[in-house]
A and B are shown apart, each in its own frame.
Chain A
Amino acid sequence: EAGVAQSPRYKIIEKRQSVAFWCNPISGHATLYWYQQILGQGPKLLIQFQNNGVVDDSQLPKDRFSAERLKGVDSTLKIQPAKLEDSAVYLCASSFLTNEKLFFGSGTQLSVL
């Protein structure tokens, strides 16, 4: 089966610019996650969707980050405006059900200069 697809693979922007990441989960997976992973740390959950509804977004910096999941399938994560501390790898994951294993995409490596 096809895995979780993410794009772009790499992105370099200047601070205060905007950026968007895209994720296509595995077909049939109801739950979709966005994680931020700063170098040397573990992934931190930004937002969790169940179909097109938000389960948890308590750690999403809502003044600059936004996310949506169109029709309960694809998802986009946007940062506007970006800060230096947003430099990280942004990982998308999906699972068939909650409480089951996660399948991760390869991530988008963001560098904010």
Chain B
Amino acid sequence: SQQGEEDPQALSIQEGENATMNCSYKTSINNLQWYRQNSGRGLVHLILIRSNEREKHSGRLRVTLDTSKKSSSLLITASRAADTASYFCATDLSGGSYIPTFGRGTSLIVHP
């Protein structure tokens, strides 16, 4: 079963705009990760945020985690055409074996 679910399923913006995508999950987690997948390629890790953290930054990426709402958001600032990809969140299941489970993803298109 899928632990995390991304929203929206698809997002289309212009270069220079910000892109925000969300991930909701159902049970307590140890950490939450965001990945990017370009068409036809493997996934690339972006950011890992642990359950005791609320916000992390990496370049133009900002991830927040709200454990009370069981949700996370990924913000890409000043988007570029090269950011066009699918973005996935992956959550584990705390309290037991770490089993990373992915959602269906958000498809982002950035128009030049």
Contact = CB atoms under 8 A, between A and B. Distances in A.
Interface residues of B, number: 24
Contacts of B99: 45, 48, 55-56
B57 to A, nearest CB: 16
Interface in A58-113: 91, 93, 98-107, 109
A32 to B, nearest CB: 12
Interface of B: 2, 30-31, 33, 35, 40-45, 48, 88, 90, 92, 97-105
Interface of A: 4, 33, 35, 40-45, 48, 55-56, 91, 93, 98-107, 109
Given A42-B102, A45-B99, A101-B48, 16 more contacts: A4-B42, A35-B102, A44-B2, A44-B102, A45-B100, A45-B101, A55-B99, A56-B99, A91-B43, A99-B92, A101-B33, A102-B35, A102-B90, A104-B42, A104-B43, A107-B42
